[in-house]
Amino acid sequence: MSGRHLVLVGLMGAGKTSVGQRCARLLDRSFVDTDELVVATTGMTVNELFASGGESRFRELERTAVADACASPEPLVIACGGGAVLDPENRSRLRTAGLVVWLQAPPDVLGARVSDDTRRPLLRNAGAATLERLAVLRAPAYEDAADVTVDTAGRSIEDVADLVIERWSAAQRSEP
Ligand code: S3P
């Protein structure tokens, strides 16, 4: 880890936003969510962006959001949309930007967390099945992006945030 940010990655339902907000409070940092950046810069929801420009347009905007967040001179806690790590440019940018933590949970746990969510276009109609498929397809990208992994299954947001901060502190101590 050479950069300054704390970066959270993982599938939808992993808890990146809630855990990230708590970590930001504990570390006294600002919190940035790449989805929120995209929504703020376009004035459109993620659903509207997928519907109007397709996933590819959303991914372009997401790449810009990742680059903008990473470029912040202020050390941040950054939560990335679940698919941001699919882009090799994003992965290398995030790895350079700081400690990348992969929040993990089995697909059935993720599915239960997002079961009544209508804001995620990729989960329309088939949330659990989609998460099973994405877990397999995306595992190599998360592995490549992440410095450390935290298992979130059966843990509260508070416990996961504490674990993330522990890993963060350990990584800081091992810096040359
Ligand atoms: C996506 C995850 C979402 C959002 C978009 C696509 C994905 O973010 O970026 O709906 O491809 O996994 P969250 O992981 O914050 O839900």
Note the pLDDT tens digit of each residue in 10-37: 999 999 999 999 999 999 999 999 999 9
Q: What is the rounded average pLDDT for all residues in the chain?
A: 94
Residue 121 pLDDT? 86
CB 15 less than 6 A from any atom of ligand 1: no
Amino acid letter, residue 108: D
Alpha carbon distance 105, 155 (integer Å)? 10
Nearest protein CA to atom 15 of ligand 1, as residue: 81
The answer to whether the beta carbons of residues 61 and 46 sit under 8 Å apart is no
CB 9 less than 6 A from any atom of ligand 1: no
The answer to whether the beta carbons of residues 54 and 47 sit under 8 Å apart is no
CB 12 less than 6 A from any atom of ligand 1: yes
Which strands sit side by side in the sheet containing 76-79, from one edge to the other?
A: 30-33, 76-79, 5-9, 98-104, 148-151
CA angle 95, 101, 102 (to 5 degrees): 110
The answer to whether the beta carbons of residues 149 and 102 sit under 8 Å apart is yes
Q: pLDDT > 70: what percent of the chain?
A: 97
Q: How confident is the model at residue 3 (pLDDT cuts 50, 70, 90)?
A: low
